Structure 1
Amino acid sequence: MLDKTFPQYNWSRNGFTRNRWELLFPNQKRHTAKMKFKVRTLIVLLCVTAICVSWRGYMSFSLPQDERLCACERCLSEDDPWFMKHFNKSVEPFLSANYNLSEDTFNWWKLLRDAKGNFSNFRGKVERLFLMVPPSPDVLESSPDRCRTCAVVGNSGNLKRSHYGPLIDFHDVIIRVNAGQIKGYEADVGTRTTHRFMYPESCVDLDNTTHLVLAPFKTIDFDWLTGALTTGFNGGPHWAVRSKIKANKDLVMVLNPAFMRYVHDMWLEKKGYYPSTGFLALVVALHMCDEVSVFGYGADSDGNWSHYWEKLRKKNLKTGAHPGDTEYRMIQKLDEQQKLKFYTGF
């Protein structure tokens, strides 16, 4: 027991004084200082973390509407020089009753498949079609509180045994091309379709909820659609197409020839005669979606550009007038630049 009369220590009524504690426990002061430093450091770190989280929340939810493009984790942006070299948001993907196609673009488009008729004749056909189908396209607009996800499903043989079906069906918009089949291939290609891009020679019947997107390559294609959705179309024995098809007239959309030219010039750098329907559909998706996933494009593992539902009879099958290799490389580049997600099937 400590003696109150010990000469080095000051004794007080309330116990040891601070000096006496320091003398008896010389390490206590350093320990206390370290603890205080740790506490202060922890408080500073917590404050910095809170500020960062608050700032991220502010940037995510408080940006003005014209700066916040969508609610996706990653949106297609316009600040990438490479992407903006190709992407032109001002080009309308679809025709409308009020859209004025330039005669210069018409003359470019007319040469794709040696279309008959002059510019005035073309405009008359378009006007008649828009008396029957919606005068403006049904497109889901971008919004800061919405994330528009799109799956573009091509017809490549590399879809076989891919098991992409559930992933494809998970998207909001599911775009299919030409006569791409579903029945019997659901595990690999999914079950849903919201938009089907096709032209007369590749037409199929559609259910009442699917948008028919006409990819016109000649002026008679407008006549065909008008007739095929009403009383029937008679194109003569030289043109073997179906005279009638099943589709919802209220969901019809028509690809803009100016958009087709833009894809050929800007995205494919004028390679090939004209873009494939599949590549046109893919670039449309970049214009109308916030996140794009691509399936079923390119050759199969043996290098053949075959369809997944067909038994391949002709080896070394290529893409004809379409610049298939150029289109494929562009899809790969878009995937590398994280502008879309490319599922190769291999």
Structure 2
Amino acid sequence: MMKSKEKALIVLLCVTTICVSWRGYRPCSLPQDKSLCACERCLSEDDPWFMKRFNKSVEPFLSANYNLSEDAFNWWKVSCKLARKQSLNLTFRQIVDRLFLTVLPSPDLLESSPDRCRTCAVVGNSVNLRRSHYGPLIDFHDVIIRMNAGRIEGYEADVGTRTTHRVMYPESSVDLDNTTHLVLAPFKILKRYWLPGSRLKKQTGLKPNSDSQQVMVLNPAFMRYVHHMWLKKKGKYPSTGFLALVLALHMCDEVSVFGYGADSDGNWSHYWEKLRKKKLKTGAHPGDTEYRMIQELDEQQKLRFYTGF
């Protein structure tokens, strides 16, 4: 009888030791509910501070059958300059119908699973990336999101080599390869951007039908949610970079953030450019508010913020 108890105790100690040893790789306890993901800590796990801001029910991407609320459409028109005289007086449904002539009707997203840990690297364009040597760390992630004209060639050691998603607005479009999803931030939408042969399609190299699966469009309701819930309506609208960051929180279980913030002199400059305009700010974007929120998310252990050197 004593030997049986001793054997049981030894087995229990062995199991406990294994759990502790592997804690850095994946949480382990006896007993435990099945985790929502295979990461050490899943973003979607309940946390009062986070859940006051994070709304999983908001769809990040627009789909062909999505019905936008009147409040969200009005915010979109005013905040994103759709109401200007040069913009066409189109209804939301007319815009969507034109858009999905060449864009996949419903984006395919990888959902959370106890069997995987979805990791995102969000790579901003801040001068703080210079000489950071973050490149290999960035490339290690599953999803790598870049913004607008952020350059790679010549900066690989600091910014990495891979891109899975590039968030752009039409005026800032750049050439994309066939492994990168275009995530279109619909600022200043005009009719010409959605027609065959448009400047957007020429610049990105997109061809109707064959490349439609590579295009995703941010949902105006998602953009409004980021502005209202995450930024408390500061500024006229969120920056492309901050939209990309919140998008990553919705797409991944672990998020790492690189290349955000002003330089030591307070200039919001890009890592590939020589700064000519001193005291460069963020315009209509609430840059300081966005930066403080990134810092807070890091402090709350909801993402890892790599600030550069």
With structure 2 as the length reference, what TM-score do the two structures score? 0.87
Tell me the amino acid that sits aligned with residue 102 of structure 1: S
Q: 1:151 aligns with which of 113, 118, 121?
A: 121
Tell me the amino acid that sits aligned with residue 296 of structure 2: K
1:225-244 equivalent positions in 2, closer than 5 A: 225-227=193-195, 230-233=196-199, 244=203
Residue 141 (structure 1) aligned with residue 111 (structure 2): yes
Aligned-partner Cα distance in 1 for 2:66–2:201: 29
1:75-126 Cα deviation digits (max 9, x unpaired): 1133210001110000000000121111221011100143146886331121
3-state secondary structure, aligned to 1:325: helix
Aligned-partner Cα distance in 2 for 1:62–1:119: 60
Aligned residue in 2 for 1:32: none
Tell me the amino acid that sits aligned with residue 142 of structure 2: D
Tell me the amino acid that sits aligned with residue 231 of structure 1: G
Aligned-partner Cα distance in 2 for 1:109–1:126: 14
Call closer, same or farther: CA 1:158–1:244 in 2, change over 3 Å.
closer
1:285 offset after TM fit, Å?
0.2
1:249-308 Cα deviation digits (max 9, x unpaired): 321000000001100111011111110000000000000101100000001222210000
**Does the CA-based 8 Å contact 1:106-1:119 persist in structure 2?**
no
Residue 183 (structure 1) aligned with residue 166 (structure 2): no
Q: 1:316 aligns with which of 258, 279, 295?
A: 279
Aligned-partner Cα distance in 1 for 2:298–2:232: 18
**Does the CA-based 8 Å contact 2:236-2:284 persist in structure 1?**
yes
Call closer, same or farther: CA 1:142–1:60 in 2, change over 3 Å.
farther
Aligned-partner Cα distance in 2 for 1:250–1:55: 42
3-state secondary structure, aligned to 1:132: coil
Tell me the amino acid that sits aligned with residue 313 of structure 1: R
Call closer, same or farther: CA 1:264–1:61 in 2, change over 3 Å.
farther
**Which runs of 5 or more structure 2 residues have no equivalent in the other structure?**
21-25
Residue 93 (structure 1) aligned with residue 60 (structure 2): yes
3-state secondary structure, aligned to 2:10: helix
Residue 174 (structure 1) aligned with residue 144 (structure 2): yes
The structure showing larger relative contact order (alpha-carbon pairs under 8 Å, at least 6 residues apart) is 2
Aligned residue in 2 for 1:4: none
**Which runs of 5 or more structure 1 residues have no equivalent in the other structure?**
1-38, 234-240
Call closer, same or farther: CA 1:139–1:40 in 2, change over 3 Å.
closer
Aligned residue in 2 for 1:331: 294
1:316 offset after TM fit, Å?
1.2
Q: 2:82 aligns with which of 93, 115, 136?
A: 115
3-state secondary structure, aligned to 2:269: coil
Residue 127 (structure 1) aligned with residue 97 (structure 2): yes
Structural RMSD (CA): 2.8
Aligned residue in 2 for 1:246: 205
With structure 1 as the length reference, what TM-score do the two structures score? 0.78
1:303-332 Cα deviation digits (max 9, x unpaired): 210000000011111111100000000000
**Does the CA-based 8 Å contact 2:119-2:253 persist in structure 1?**
yes
1:61 offset after TM fit, Å?
11
Tell me the amino acid that sits aligned with residue 88 of structure 1: N
Call closer, same or farther: CA 1:172–1:310 in 2, change over 3 Å.
same
Aligned-partner Cα distance in 1 for 2:250–2:307: 22
Aligned-partner Cα distance in 2 for 1:173–1:287: 12
1:26-68 Cα deviation digits (max 9, x unpaired): xxxxxxxxxxxxx99987863542464688999679966xx52
Aligned-partner Cα distance in 2 for 1:283–1:295: 14
Aligned-partner Cα distance in 2 for 1:216–1:305: 23
Aligned residue in 1 for 2:23: none
Call closer, same or farther: CA 1:245–1:40 in 2, change over 3 Å.
closer
1:206-265 Cα deviation digits (max 9, x unpaired): 001100000002331xx34423xx3234xxxxxxx8864313332100000000110011
* Structure with greater Cα Rg: 1
3-state secondary structure, aligned to 2:149: coil
Call closer, same or farther: CA 1:253–1:246 in 2, change over 3 Å.
same
Aligned-partner Cα distance in 2 for 1:61–1:324: 45
Tell me the amino acid that sits aligned with residue 74 of structure 2: N
Equivalent residue pairs, number: 296
1:1-346 equivalent positions in 2, closer than 5 A: 46-50=10-14, 52=16, 68-116=35-83, 121-220=91-190, 223-227=191-195, 230-233=196-199, 244-247=203-206, 248-346=211-309
1:70 offset after TM fit, Å?
0.7
Aligned-partner Cα distance in 2 for 1:160–1:114: 33
Which shows bigger deviation, 69-78 or 98-107? Answer: 69-78
